[in-house]
Structure 1
Amino acid sequence: MPAPAHHPTAVEAGTADIRPLMAGFPSGVSVLTALDEDAAPRGMTCSSLASVALSPPTLVVCVRTASPTLDTILAGGQFAVNLLHEDARDASQVFASGSDDRFERVEWRLPLGASGPHLTADAHATADCEVVRTVEMGDHTAVFAGVRRVTLRENAAPPLLYGRRRYARWSDAAVSPDPPAQPIPTEGAARVRP
């Protein structure tokens, strides 16, 4: 007997709820940090992060336009992206909570030349960034950022993952070593057979 056919429900353009779609696209977890005009630390959890270009090194983060952390980032023109390791779920939840004491509940430092606080106990890597462009789209703002410096922490745990509204550990999700990665062809690039 053939399997029953699945008939997806289409929604008019512009009215679709994309949250279920994006929940099915697991990503790493980051915390964006910055200092306000009084040098007080501000920060928020962000899973909407992507690389834009290698040269110049550029990232994009998408932040709720009404976020106080976004106001701090735009006012100062710089911020840090802290990539959380798989044992840092508590830090992710603290920075997603909106709690006023979030920086009192984590270990952080402000190294010389940093663009924002580095979460030294919870991040496996941190990028110090400067804002180069912003684009407001609906209820979010895309912040394009030039990366000035990357700090990798030796012996840190692998990345924390988030998808389908749940956390996962990279070490649990990863399988046996894969063969060497092949570059993903860009549009219009010729494919070379081995």
Structure 2
Amino acid sequence: MSHSAPPPDIPDVPEAEVAERAAKTTTPAVLHTADLRPFMASFPSGVSVVTTLDADGRPHGLTCSSLASVALAPPTLVVCIRTASPTLDVLLRQGQFALNLLHEEARPTSDLFASGDPERFERVEWRLPLGASGPHLVSSTHAVTDCAVVKTTSFGDHTAVFAEARRITVRPSPRPLLYGLRRYAKWSAAASAPQPAAVPLPLRGLSAEGAAHVSG
């Protein structure tokens, strides 16, 4: 197999010499950091509360909007939680948690569990069904899943918790609570808005394969 020659401004240096030069380099790398919060605020999502129990049966929980599905078989999802969170510590020790998806009238519950109020479980209705992985916030949710932790990955100031859904309860006609641009919204209001007319995509400049994909 033939290889093209390197560009004239990049000398052809043996790999061992490259490694030696890198080891001797003391100039720190310049890192350009960005505040990700405004960007992610522009991506509205549902709102959930992660709940678990410690070894003494005391409930712990926090509001979480950073979650996603990972796989359907096995049914796996991921939630991202601040690494310093006391709830995360309990969750990892116990290896399980409940994920409560809040309905559109449950903004007070979202605010309560985001506040860190030590008496938050005294101020909201919850139950612990047989076999539950954590408290179910029955009056605030439209869906709950009981999860078992299968893997964790820490990165920066957060930890991604991958978990398998063991049992799922979904209420008929769910109406989720939405959050984006640092504001709450109701699913019923968003769903009742007139749908915009479909705008056909321009096909100019597309390859035959791209045009076939757009047209279905």
TM-score normalised by the chain length of structure 1: 0.84
Corresponding residue of 1:167: 184
Look up the match of 2:17: none
Matching residue of 1:152: 170
| In structure 2, distance between residues paired with 1:159 and 1:89 | 10
Cα gap change, 1:192 to 1:22, in 2 (>3 Å): closer
Deviation of 1:151 after TM superposition, in Å, equals: 0.7
Task: Structure 2 unaligned segments of length 5 or more: list them.
Answer: 1-29, 197-211
Give the aligned residue type for 2:182.
R
Which position in structure 2 is the counterpart of 1:7? none
- Quick check: 1:58 aligned with 2:82? no
The higher-RCO structure (CA 8 Å, 6+ apart) is: 1
Structure (1 or 2) with the greater helix fraction: 2
1:193 positional shift? 4.2
> Shift in Å at residue 168 of structure 1?
0.4
Q: Distance in 1 between matches of 2:74 and 2:53?
A: 24
**How far did residue 81 of structure 1 move?**
0.3
Aligned residue identity for 1:168: A
**Shift in Å, 1:139:** 0.3
Structure 1 residues 192 and 55, CA gap change in structure 2 (3 angstroms)? farther
What residue number does 1:26 align with? Answer: 44
Corresponding position: 1:141 with 2:178: no
Q: 1:55 to 1:140 in 2, by over 3 A?
A: same
Q: 1:118 aligns with which of 136, 146, 151?
A: 136
* 1:22-49 alpha-carbon deviations (Å, 9 max, x no partner): 0000000000000011100000000001
1:96-145 deviation digits (Å, cap 9, x = unpaired): 00000100111100001100000000000001000000000000000000
1:46 pairs with 2:68: no
Query: Structure 2 counterpart of 1:60, which letter?
Result: V
The structure with more radius of gyration = 2
Q: Which runs of 5+ in 1 are unaligned?
A: 1-11, 179-189
Q: How far apart in 2 are the matches of 1:150 and 1:27?
A: 20
Using a 3 Å threshold, how does the CA distance of structure 1 residues 32 and 14 change in structure 2: closer, same or farther?
Answer: farther
Aligned in 2, Cα 1:14/1:64: closer, same or farther, shift over 3 Å? farther
Q: 1:91 aligns with which of 97, 109, 120?
A: 109
CA distance 1:13–1:159, shift in 2 (3 Å): farther
Which residue identity does 2:175 align to in structure 1? P
Q: 1:14 Cα deviation (Å)?
A: 4.8
Identity rate, percent: 67
CA gap 1:74/1:173 in 2 versus in 1, 3 angstroms: same
Cα distance between partner residues in 2 of 1:123 and 1:14 = 40
SS at match of 1:39: coil
* Distance in 2 between residues matched to 1:73 and 1:191, nearest whole Å: 44
Letter in 2 for 1:160: L
Name the structure 2 match of 1:77: 95
Partner secondary structure for residue 75 of structure 1: helix
Whole-angstrom CA distance in 2 between matches of 1:128 and 1:102: 20
Kindly tell me the number of residue pairs found equivalent between the two proteins.
172
Using the TM superposition, give the Cα deviation of residue 152 of structure 1 relative to its aligned residue in structure 2, in angstroms: 1.2
Q: CA offsets, 1:158-192, max 9 Å, x none?
A: 000000001000111123579xxxxxxxxxxx948
